A and B are shown apart, each in its own frame.
Chain A
Amino acid sequence: MADEKEKPPMLDRYRVLDLTDDRGALCGKILAELGADVVKVEKPGGDPARSVGPFYKDTPHPEKSLNWFAFNQGKRGITLDIETKDGQEIFKSLVKDADFVVESFTPGYLKKLDLDYAALNKINPRLVMISITPYGQTGPYSKFKSPDLVTMAMSGYVFICGDSDRPPVRFTSDQSYMQGSIQAVGGALMAHYHREMTGEGQQVDVSMQEAMVWTLCYAPHDWYLLKALHHTRENGLWRRFGVTYRLIFPCKDGYVCYRLLMAQPGANVMNDLIESMNKEGFGLDMKGIDWSTMNFTEVSQDKINYWEGELGKYFMNHTKRELHEEAVRQRNVLQPVNDAKDIYESPQLAARDFWVEVEHPELGESITYPGPYFKSTETAWFKGERAPLIGEHNGEIYLKELGFSEEELMTLKRDNVI
């Protein structure tokens, strides 16, 4: 689409005060991409999330965390110790003109500092406060210590993942934090919609556990409706109601994802694939089968296994890219199991101008970031600057906006308030 640079972002420069650590940082990042003015508020010395790797050139350093870069890009940053009385006063003065506050503290922490929703609501009744935690603000588990593995376990996700001869596993990635964060944006913008209609702010109380329960699809409903647990962990196999499909197949340089298709969709695409297979001597007795009349519940598991075996032999002869591009030509559904390199080199993402470069002057280079996930006739995804350095915008906010003098700023710094 033309004139991307001319198009405004969707949101106005709403002020977001972002107190999250790595468990909620993606929420503010998304708001920044939509045009909000997101100010990261870190304790003096920097947020602990800056010690989460991986690191730029594998050098652990608070200004070199790639995780920090990724999820705080587009935000400005100030330091402030909200555990001091001065810090609390300053924060409250910022809240007065803020549209959103987002935080991921253990429930009860902000109340002790007189900075919970009840207190902030008095200062600014229009405020929307987004609180992202593993279980929510109240309830029997709300104060549990729950890093990602524990929340993932409690959500039901872990039980169904992995291999049957080993313990269940989580993703090698903190997905509960991300799910909580991206869901939080939706809730926040609903509260914002209501606020603009009525003038009334409110708190958006987000539970990472509930967010992950959503990703289970069937599991709770299988139990409620049928008193059965139909999901089992089977590595690359998918078993449901007595039929087992292979979904992950090894190939020449990695893995692909495919599911044997039958019935009408199968009729359209299986024949082309079988023709390719036949050319290499595989699946010769799969030729001529009428896939369109087959019903997977009526085929024997042995037959399914045999056909999948033939597919597997063919896949082993080809790379992910070859198999996927053949599928695109044949209008078949196969997908490659991508790693980071595959994602980065995707021709589809390149054709969509998906990647953007963000300059990091301190590092002397720019780094590639994911860019627009939507194209619009009116608005554009907003890139913004790299993630803030520690206290980078103290001058802009404290001097220019709040009107502190240089001396006052020095005093606050000396007293470790900022």
Chain B
Amino acid sequence: MAKKKMALEGLKVVDFSWVFTGPMVTKYLGDHGAEIIKIESAARPDGTRLMTPFIGGEMSLNRSGVYANYNSSKYSMNINLREPRGVEVVHKLVKRADIVLETFGPGVMKKLNLHYDELKAVKPDIIMLSMSMFGQYGPYANQPTFGQLLQATNGFVNLLGWPDRGPSLPVAAYTDYIAPWYVMIALMGALDYRRRTGKGQYIDLAMQEASVHLAAPVVMDYTVNNRIQSRQGNDSPGAAPHGVYPCKGEERWVAISVFTDAEWDALCKVMGNPAWTKQPEFSTQFNRTQHIPELDKHMGQWTKGYTPEELMGMLQKVGVAAGIVQTGQDLVDNDLQLRHRKHFVEMNHAEAGKHLTERPPYRLSKTPSQPSRPFPGFGEHTEFVCKKILGMGDAEFAELIGANVLS
């Protein structure tokens, strides 16, 4: 079967990143054809390798479902970076590479003699990006933390939940799903700059700073209007009904959004024009927004007679925005659109077995993404990279393994 051409064919990345954010970026690059060589160390495997859920339900370094998702299309090798000869191997990789990505805390790469100045000496046009929580400098730069807590700093935790209660927790570390796309943007931008000028660069990218960009209007509402926005449940200015309503079945819900009188009329028709909809409180879009609790109560009485699938079908048909409040099960087993998009790709790993990797949310029409291999086992490609990619001889390789420089 002819392989479709890949957008990033020929691009080479040396990837020191670990856990979630960096690996997602290099997975996206790898899935579009780039060569990704992931550096792990025997003493410190990527922390995600021990995260639930496990493929086959059994814990092991090569069975993490999340690691599997974030690390398709990559080679992985173990190098002892504290050994000078390990650093030499890194230099050999960098010499032929376009990009170096790292997401350790500030100062770590410097301590390993793998900072930009050292790597630039090896490859003058190298593009190196360091992604950290707060940036490489500043009063908080050296504070250790993790994404699940960092997300609280960019305002979105405060904006999730109910006005009469404390904030609710986002599903996962939400900032971990903003920052990688900015890393991607900076890397692709740097590649373009290099193409036009021949120059590489060192980029210091801060997760928190990138995520604050999404909160720009919220910050401006404060600096201009002195208003501190807060969580509003499911409300949206000018919309009513606009909420999540209970359906037939346990923990089954539907989301309905009505912004105009025309949508309201269509909704009422589907509901059979019940008497309550003719009350003056519900007669105009404005009036409805002033009587949300009563409106939501009425809506819930109606929706609980149906499944969310039925409601989505009935309402979308007449141009009313409605959607199932889907669960992980819905996404994987039932969602016809994700199936159409082939969002979930079933992969098979030689040791762990079947698992899913997800596709980036965009389809390039001529060079679509395609995972080239399942996630790498721990140390799976050390020998392959050294011998087949770097051309290392058998004796040298054996020596480095024996000396624990490689594993």
Q: Decide if the interface of chain B is mainly helix, strand, loop or mixed.
A: mixed
Decide: B204 and A374 in contact? CB cutoff 8 A. yes
- Which listed residue, A154, A210, A259, touches B326 by the CB 8 Å rule? A154
Residues of A within 8 A of B235 (CB): 172
Residues of B within 8 A of A153 (CB): 244, 253-255, 323-326
Decide: A161 and B340 in contact? CB cutoff 8 A. no
Decide: A375 and B140 in contact? CB cutoff 8 A. no
B262 to chain A: closest CB distance in Å?
12
Given contacts A248-B166, A373-B206, contact A215 B201 (CB under 8 A): no
C-alpha gap A290/B362 in the complex (Å): 48
Counting CB contacts under 8 A, is B143 at the interface?
Answer: yes
Counting CB contacts under 8 A, is A281 at the interface?
Answer: no
Residues of B within 8 A of A397 (CB): none
Decide: B144 and A344 in contact? CB cutoff 8 A. no
Decide: A196 and B362 in contact? CB cutoff 8 A. no
Counting CB contacts under 8 A, is B53 at the interface?
Answer: yes
C-alpha gap A258/B91 in the complex (Å): 39
Decide: B166 and A255 in contact? CB cutoff 8 A. yes
Tell me which of A76-84, A176-184, A398-406 binds B. A176-184
Counting CB contacts under 8 A, is A338 at the interface?
Answer: yes
A183 to chain B: closest CB distance in Å?
5
Given contacts A139-B341, A335-B153, contact A202 B364 (CB under 8 A): yes
Residues of B within 8 A of A417 (CB): none
Counting CB contacts under 8 A, is B111 at the interface?
Answer: no
C-alpha gap A256/B153 in the complex (Å): 9
Counting CB contacts under 8 A, is B202 at the interface?
Answer: yes
A86 to chain B: closest CB distance in Å?
29
Residues of A within 8 A of B135 (CB): 348, 352, 375
B311 to chain A: closest CB distance in Å?
11
The residues in B between 217 and 255 inclusive whose CB is less than 8 angstroms from any CB of A are 217-225, 227-237, 239, 242-246, 251, 253-255
Counting CB contacts under 8 A, is B100 at the interface?
Answer: no
C-alpha gap A258/B151 in the complex (Å): 11
Residues of B within 8 A of A233 (CB): 168
C-alpha gap A182/B174 in the complex (Å): 14
Decide: B186 and A374 in contact? CB cutoff 8 A. yes
Counting CB contacts under 8 A, is A384 at the interface?
Answer: no
Decide: B143 and A236 in contact? CB cutoff 8 A. no
Residues of A within 8 A of B402 (CB): none
C-alpha gap A248/B192 in the complex (Å): 42
C-alpha gap A58/B229 in the complex (Å): 13
Tell me which of A90-98, A162-170, A298-306 binds B. A162-170
Interface size class of A (residues with CB under 8 A): 35 or more
Decide: A351 and B181 in contact? CB cutoff 8 A. no
Between A and B, how many residue pairs show CB distances below 8 Å? Answer: 525
Counting CB contacts under 8 A, is B330 at the interface?
Answer: yes
Counting CB contacts under 8 A, is A104 at the interface?
Answer: no
- Which listed residue, B165, B186, B228, B251, touches A341 by the CB 8 Å rule? B228
Given contacts A172-B229, A216-B171, contact A167 B234 (CB under 8 A): yes
Residues of A within 8 A of B333 (CB): 223
- Identify the closest chain B residue to A54 (Cβ): B221
Decide: B220 and A213 in contact? CB cutoff 8 A. no
Decide: B165 and A163 in contact? CB cutoff 8 A. yes
- Identify the closest chain A residue to B152 (Cβ): A257
Decide: B140 and A328 in contact? CB cutoff 8 A. yes
B340 to chain A: closest CB distance in Å?
4
Residues of B within 8 A of A158 (CB): 244, 253, 255, 325
C-alpha gap A69/B154 in the complex (Å): 19
Counting CB contacts under 8 A, is A145 at the interface?
Answer: yes
Tell me which of A270-278, A363-371, A408-416 binds B. A363-371
Decide: B328 and A149 in contact? CB cutoff 8 A. no
Residues of A within 8 A of B199 (CB): 378
Looking at B20, B152, B155, B331, which has the most chain A CB atoms within 10 Å of its CB? B152
Decide: A340 and B343 in contact? CB cutoff 8 A. no
Decide: B331 and A145 in contact? CB cutoff 8 A. no
Residues of B within 8 A of A328 (CB): 139-140, 142-143
Interface size class of B (residues with CB under 8 A): 35 or more
A320 to chain B: closest CB distance in Å?
9
C-alpha gap A26/B151 in the complex (Å): 20
A 212-234 to B, binary, CB cutoff 8 A, 1 in contact else 0: 01111111111111101111011
Given contacts A204-B362, A210-B338, A215-B174, contact A333 B146 (CB under 8 A): yes
Decide: A247 and B171 in contact? CB cutoff 8 A. no
Counting CB contacts under 8 A, is A289 at the interface?
Answer: no
Residues of B within 8 A of A179 (CB): 177-178, 181, 361
A49 to chain B: closest CB distance in Å?
12
Counting CB contacts under 8 A, is A315 at the interface?
Answer: no
Decide: B219 and A343 in contact? CB cutoff 8 A. yes
Residues of A within 8 A of B7 (CB): 190-191, 193-194
Decide: B321 and A146 in contact? CB cutoff 8 A. yes
Decide: B172 and A217 in contact? CB cutoff 8 A. yes
B 61-80 to A, binary, CB cutoff 8 A, 1 in contact else 0: 00001101100000000000
Counting CB contacts under 8 A, is B355 at the interface?
Answer: yes
- Which listed residue, B154, B178, B205, touches A338 by the CB 8 Å rule? B154
Decide: A248 and B28 in contact? CB cutoff 8 A. no
C-alpha gap A169/B139 in the complex (Å): 35
- Which listed residue, B171, B231, B332, B364, touches A157 by the CB 8 Å rule? B171
The residues in A between 139 and 159 inclusive whose CB is less than 8 angstroms from any CB of B are 139-142, 144-159
C-alpha gap A147/B156 in the complex (Å): 19
- Which listed residue, B218, B326, B328, B363, touches A340 by the CB 8 Å rule? B218
A 110-138 to B, binary, CB cutoff 8 A, 1 in contact else 0: 00000001000000000000000001101
Counting CB contacts under 8 A, is A75 at the interface?
Answer: no
Counting CB contacts under 8 A, is A53 at the interface?
Answer: yes
Counting CB contacts under 8 A, is B286 at the interface?
Answer: no
Counting CB contacts under 8 A, is A203 at the interface?
Answer: yes
Counting CB contacts under 8 A, is B49 at the interface?
Answer: no
20 extra A-B contacts, CB within 8 A, seeds A66-B217, A331-B144: A10-B192, A145-B321, A147-B321, A153-B325, A154-B323, A154-B324, A155-B326, A158-B253, A189-B189, A190-B7, A191-B364, A204-B363, A213-B343, A215-B174, A221-B68, A247-B149, A255-B166, A255-B167, A337-B167, A373-B206
User: Can you name 6 A-B pairs with beta carbons within 8 Å?
Assistant: A141-B336, A161-B160, A162-B168, A175-B156, A183-B181, A373-B209
Closest 7 CB pairs of A and B: A187-B362, A189-B188, A210-B361, A10-B189, A217-B172, A153-B255, A139-B340
